[in-house]
A and B are shown apart, each in its own frame.
Chain A
Amino acid sequence: MTADELCYAGIRELGGLFRRRELSPVDYATDLLRRIERVDKNLNSYVTVTAERALTDARAAETALQRGDAGPLTGIPIAYKDLYATRGIRTTAGSALLADWVPEEDCTCVTRLQRAGMVMLGKLITHEFAFGIQFPGHRFPPARNPWNLDHIPGGSSSGSGAALAAGLTVGSLGSDTGGSIRGPAAFCGIAGLKPTYGRVSRAGVVTLSWTLDHTGPMARSVEDCAFMLQALAGHDAADPASSREPVADYLAGLEGGVKGLRVGVVRDYFFEGVEAETVAAFERALGELGRLGATVRNVEIPSIHVTPAFMVIMLTEAYAYHARDLRERPQLYGEVLREKLMAGGLFHADEYVQAQRLRSQLRADTARVLESVDVLITPTALGPAPAFRVVLDPDFPFAKSNMGPFNMTGLPTLAVPTGFSASGLPLSMQISGRPFDEATVLRAGHAYQRATDWHRRRPPVRT
Chain B
Amino acid sequence: MPEMPSEVTLDEVKERARLAGLVIPPARLDLVRGFLANALKPIRALDTRTVRTVEPAVIFNAGGNAGGGPEPRS
Chain A: residues with CB nearer than 8 A to chain B? Answer: 198, 237, 239-246, 305-312, 315, 339-340, 342-343, 345-348, 351, 353-361, 364, 394-395, 397-398
Contacts and interface: CB of A to CB of B under 8 A. Distances in A.
A243 B39 contact: no
Nearest to B39: A311
Contacts of B55: 357, 360
A108 B38 CA distance: 36
Interface in B1-57: 13, 16-17, 20, 22, 24-25, 28, 31-32, 34-36, 38-43, 46, 48, 51-52, 54-56
Contacts of A395: 31
A346 B42 contact: no
A339 B32 contact: yes
B17 A346 contact: yes
Contact of A240 (B36, B38, B68): B68
Given A245-B65, A245-B66, A398-B35, A364 B42 contact: no
Chain A to chain B: the 3 pairs with minimum beta-carbon distance, closest first = A356-B56, A311-B39, A240-B68
B65 A244 contact: yes
Given A339-B32, A346-B16, A346-B22, A355 B43 contact: yes
Contacts of B13: 346
B39 A312 contact: yes
Contacts of A310: 39
A398 B34 CA distance: 9
Q: Is the interface of A mostly helix, strand, loop or mixed?
A: helix
Contacts of B28: 339, 394
Contact of B34 (A315, A345, A397): A397
Which of B38, B64, B70 has the largest number of chain A CB atoms within 10 A? B38
A353 B70 CA distance: 26
Contacts of B48: 354
Contacts of B46: 354, 357-358
A351 B16 CA distance: 13
A243 B67 contact: yes
B54 A360 contact: yes
Contacts of A394: 28, 31
Which of A244, A306, A361 has the most B CB atoms < 10 Å from its CB?
A244
B42 A306 contact: yes
Contacts of A339: 24-25, 28, 31-32
Given A357-B54, A360-B54, A361-B54, A351 B40 contact: yes
A306 B56 CA distance: 15
Contacts, number: 100
B43 A358 contact: yes
B66 A243 contact: yes
A312 B43 contact: yes
B25 A198 contact: no
B64 to A, nearest CB: 6
Contacts of A346: 13, 16-17, 20, 22, 32, 36
B42 A359 contact: no
Contact of B32 (A198, A343, A351): A343
B71 A237 contact: yes
B50 to A, nearest CB: 13
B52 to A, nearest CB: 8
18 contacts: A243-B68, A244-B67, A245-B66, A308-B38, A308-B41, A308-B42, A311-B35, A312-B40, A339-B31, A342-B32, A346-B22, A347-B36, A347-B40, A353-B56, A355-B39, A356-B56, A360-B54, A360-B55
Given A243-B65, A308-B38, A358-B43, 9 more contacts: A242-B68, A244-B65, A306-B42, A308-B41, A346-B13, A351-B43, A355-B43, A357-B56, A361-B51
A186 B22 CA distance: 36
Most buried by B among A306, A310, A357: A357
A355 B71 CA distance: 31
A39 B51 CA distance: 56
Contacts of A361: 51-52, 54
A4 B16 CA distance: 56
B42 to A, nearest CB: 4
Nearest to B35: A343
A358 B39 contact: no
A316 to B, nearest CB: 9
Contacts of B43: 309, 312, 351, 354-355, 358
B25 to A, nearest CB: 7
Nearest to A246: B65
Contact of A244 (B32, B52, B64): B64
Given A354-B46, A398-B35, A198 B24 contact: no
A214 B55 CA distance: 22
